[in-house]
Amino acid sequence: MLGLAALAASAATLPFAGIGPSFAAQITSYALALIPVALFIHGFPTLTSELPTPRLLTFGAVCAVLGFLAALASRPEVFDDGPRLLPLAVLYLANVLRLCAAASLGLSLARFVTSPGVALLIATVAAAADLFSILAGPTKILLREDSPALDLLVLIFPSFGTPLGFGLGLSDFIFLALFIYMSLLLALRYRLTLLCCSSATLLATITALALERPLPALPFISLCFVLVNAQNIYAAMRK
């Protein structure tokens, strides 16, 4: 709940702030969005621990549908006349609902991961698939054609002076949640995984800003998960 409140506060205030779009201001806005997201992912299992997996997936599916509808109602052209509170509230709702969907799917998938070796395989395949998708696959095509599907699949967070600051793919949050919850359920280094994988997401956005080109966040997150838990994974695979 603290994460959602902090995310709401940044969504309601940053677009109206008079700070120019400097490099430092953009990094600050990234942090003000991603730190609350990390808090939300951390607290989500507490709220849903009693839900069996089928119900959790159903909850996630409902959130996804409602989130997609809210995203359609808060498309970028809605802000052509500048930031307004009602569209910002709808955009915030779209992000929260899709984050709930991502966390539900991530937690559901994590429940089926039975060993650190399987977690390592997931991290490797996910990073490779994301790299291919954005460099030569479906994501590259969607970005090149500015597909309307991006409005559904990308979460847009406000920045200083603009309601459309930066975006991260829904899949990034699904796997971020998956890695964090795998570390929790497999008794790996949960707190360090939460901190470092969330920081890796922030690092990916900063790197993309510095290079002025879209970059996949998932390889950053996957590598961080593996490095943080390498000792535990290695020990489990030797048994």
SS3 224: helix
Measured CA to CA, the distance from residue 140 to residue 152 in angstroms comes to 16
Q: What confidence tens digit (pLDDT) does each residue in 101-117 have?
A: 999 999 999 999 988 88
Phi, psi (rounded to 5 degrees) for 110: -60, -30
Domain ranges of the chain: 2-238
pLDDT of 196 > 80? The answer is yes
End-to-end CA gap in the chain: 40
Phi, psi (rounded to 5 degrees) for 52: -65, 160
**Least confident segment among 19-28, 92-101, 229-238:** 19-28
**CB 87 within 8 Å of CB 71:** no
Q: What confidence tens digit (pLDDT) does each residue in 122-173 have?
A: 989 988 887 777 666 666 666 565 666 667 788 888 888 788 878 888 889 9
Pairwise pLDDT comparison (61 vs 77), residue with the higher score: 61
pLDDT of 188 > 70? The answer is yes
**CB 197 within 8 Å of CB 203:** no
pTM for the model stands at 0.89
